[in-house]
Structure 1
Amino acid sequence: MTKLRSTRRMFLASSVTAGALAAPHVARGQAPIVWRMATSWTKALPGPGVSADRLAERINTMSGGRMRIDVFPAGAIVPAFGVLDGVSSGAVEMGHTASFFWDGTLPGAAFFTTAPFGLGPLAHQTWIEHRGGQQLWDELYRPRGVRGLLAGNTGPSMGGWFRKPIESVKDIAGLRIRVSGIGGEVYAAMGATPQNIPPGDIYSSLEKGAIDAVEILAPVNDLPLGLHRIAPYYYMPGFNKPNGAAEALISLAAFAKLPADLQCIIENACAAEHSAGLAEAEQMNAKAIVELASLGARVTPFPSDFVKEAHDKAAAVIENKSKAGPVAAKIVASYRDALGAGGAWSRVEAYMEQALRAQ
């Protein structure tokens, strides 16, 4: 599979040139291989839900009709937070979700989506593809009979929606906040009460007063949820999710039964969707943040003492995460190395961008 991964972009480029995205064709009498993809998203949820549908379409078309992926939203086959179990048990062959949902049972899984104060989208992809991240991902998931691949990206997230203003870190005490990933542990360490609520239930929970705040994704994903009508304070930066990588979960047993070209198509379709999702997010977030502000969202920076406290607590939580087991320790060490390895160039990039914008 290493050889397949290393040539996936070359394959994608050549297949497009050769007309692989033309109308599907299946030999007469030959039934397509049908896989079911369970997702953690409501149907066509902006960002991840759209990526799931588009990923299936890519595979269907690139396979020339030899393979068909049927997409099922959260709850249709398995619950939103049951996708890993669904793929692992063989209930479905494939899933589209986010790795931080499994961090409680698979310590270290969250890093394959994002981590507080961690890698941005490009640096994260670099870690996965060139600095050993994919190999660690495979090692963590292999005992569950699944494999994870990057398959969409919503970009950096905002800090979330709050009913009341946060004037200092003291205002976090007792706050009931819907939050995903390691950020939940960070908020708990800061005195808040984190809640793990599926995306489809967020609005009703906020509307009923079951929670005081919501951290979800980026502006384009938040806009259609209408959270600004209940919790108008829209805080930044999104320290919990500097990256928004989605994962495709694939049954190792089902994958092994496929011919090599279909295996390669799946890998390349995932890589293509990761790139497309991120570019789309960048374009649509630029519009969505302006629209949200016009609708009354109060885009506001977190207080400096809040950010400092969150940073300190995040460092402690991640250090503790590294003690959860040998694989988690390797993941944390590798992720930290990636942060350091890209630091110098990231600072140069940031300086160049700032200098160019100043002209």
Structure 2
Amino acid sequence: MRLVALLLAILLAGCERPLPPGTTELIYATPYSPGHPFSRADQRWIEFVEARSGGTLRIRPIWSGGLLSSDMSMEELRHGVADIGLITPIYARGGSHFLRIQTGFYSGADSIDAQLQLYRCIDAAEPQVARELHGLKLLAVQGGALPGIVTRDRPVRTLDDLQGLRIRAPTELLSVLDRLGVDAVNMPMGDVYSALAKGVIDGVIAPPDTFSALHFAEVADYYATLAIPRGAYPSRAMGLDRWNLLTEAERAILTESIPVWENALTEEVQAATERGLAEARRQNIRTTTFSDAEQHRFDRLYLEDAEQNARALRDVGIDATHAFRTARASVRGRNQISCRSPT
């Protein structure tokens, strides 16, 4: 299907009028639909680039997975399937071991701004980041709203309350939840609504925007605000070969657009979170809050697991322990980030 979509895009491009002299068109590809919060941020970036260039740089978006896949997008960009694209190193089939594991180093970086700051501390300290991004020009780093615990019909106020529950969780949390007696499962988020409705699972680790975007408010009654860390990661990139073909002025505009794109992503994620919380209130979702002691207990378990995962990368020839320690030294307090080397 992807090959058919690519051929169709090429045919359509051939039917278009020639570009005006001095105009460069770049194809941007994303797996998300135009209405998704990520895509709204993308559209704001497109508007900036085209306005800043006076129309000499045009961005042609291909939405809804027409060109790039989730698990091979980095390699596809390297080979010119699209000029610029949304990348997901955390889902890549190979070649991004460190980028995937470093997302577990962010305990204490609760805000998106703090996540981006901490990513840059890790990037500056760890050459492996550049190795795994070889062949790509990074155009945006992305953080996200912290997930909590959505449960179907049982409130959760302590970590002990999780024992025996069957909860859908991302891969990086499975071992942590297992230590807490949770029957942790991984399934596509698209299957969670029906699984909650049928009682196949008792809950899901998810951010508040899912109450609106995925309609979880219709099939769950409770939300626990345990601050479950999430990391920042490279999310928009351009193939380096295509980057090198641009003029110096064009590269300058795209470089200038990096903070514009990152700010747009932050604002759209925050707006989606507010919409989700509003929907949860409208649907009378009952919210519980973990005590500071329980939060600290979870943070300790989470960081123990993250350090263990960092050490495990030695099996593939990557020493991620220094990066883990750099991240921990750089978190001076909740959302207080200052790049520091480990002592």
TM-score (norm 2): 0.73
- Name stretches of at least 5 consecutive residues in structure 2 with no aligned partner: 1-17, 338-343
Report the Cα distance in structure 1 between the residues aligned to 2:138 and 2:171, rounded to whole angstroms: 17
Among 62, 69, 76, which residue is 2:52 paired with?
62
What is the percent sequence identity of the aligned residues?
17
Cα offset for 1:253?
Answer: 1.9
Report the Cα distance in structure 1 between the residues aligned to 2:272 and 2:97, rounded to whole angstroms: 33
* Pairing of 1:53-202 with structure 2 (within 5 A): 53-102=43-92, 106-110=96-100, 115=105, 117-120=107-110, 121-129=112-120, 132-133=123-124, 136=127, 138-143=129-134, 145-154=135-144, 156-163=145-152, 164-166=154-156, 168-173=158-163, 175-180=165-170, 182-190=172-180, 191-197=182-188, 202=192
- Secondary structure of the residue aligned to 1:343 is strand
* Pairing of 1:21-36 with structure 2 (within 5 A): 28-36=20-28
Q: Which range moves more in the overlay, 116-125 or 267-276?
A: 116-125
Q: 2:242 is matched with which residue?
A: 254
> Alpha carbons of 1:182 and 1:273: their partners in 2 closer, same or farther (altered >3 Å)?
same
Paired residue total? 315
Q: What is the one-letter code of the residue matched to 2:246? A: L
Q: Residue by residue, what CA displacement relative to the aligned partner does 1:269-315 show, whole Å, maximum 9, x if unpaired?
A: 22112123324544664565244223221221247786455333322
- Name stretches of at least 5 consecutive residues in structure 1 with no aligned partner: 1-25, 349-359
Among 225, 229, 234, which residue is 2:218 paired with?
229
> Alpha carbons of 1:132 and 1:152: their partners in 2 closer, same or farther (altered >3 Å)?
closer
- Secondary structure of the residue aligned to 2:60 is strand
Q: Is the 8 A contact 1:101 1:180 kept in 2?
A: no
Report the Cα distance in structure 1 between the residues aligned to 2:87 and 2:191, rounded to whole angstroms: 16
> Alpha carbons of 1:35 and 1:347: their partners in 2 closer, same or farther (altered >3 Å)?
closer
> Alpha carbons of 1:342 and 1:238: their partners in 2 closer, same or farther (altered >3 Å)?
closer
Cα offset for 1:211?
Answer: 4.1
Q: 2:340 is matched with which residue?
A: none
Q: Is the 8 A contact 2:48 2:257 kept in 1?
A: yes
Matched, 1:318 2:306: yes
Q: 1:37 is matched with which residue?
A: 29
Q: Is the 8 A contact 2:157 2:289 kept in 1?
A: no
Cα offset for 1:159?
Answer: 0.8
Q: Is the 8 A contact 1:321 1:328 kept in 2?
A: no
Considering only aligned residues, what root-mean-square deviation do their CA atoms show, in Å? 3.8
Among 250, 253, 276, which residue is 2:264 paired with?
276
Report the Cα distance in structure 2 between the residues aligned to 1:42 and 1:185, rounded to whole angstroms: 33
TM-score (norm 1): 0.70
Cα offset for 1:105?
Answer: 5.5
> Alpha carbons of 1:153 and 1:51: their partners in 2 closer, same or farther (altered >3 Å)?
farther
Q: Is the 8 A contact 1:178 1:195 kept in 2?
A: yes
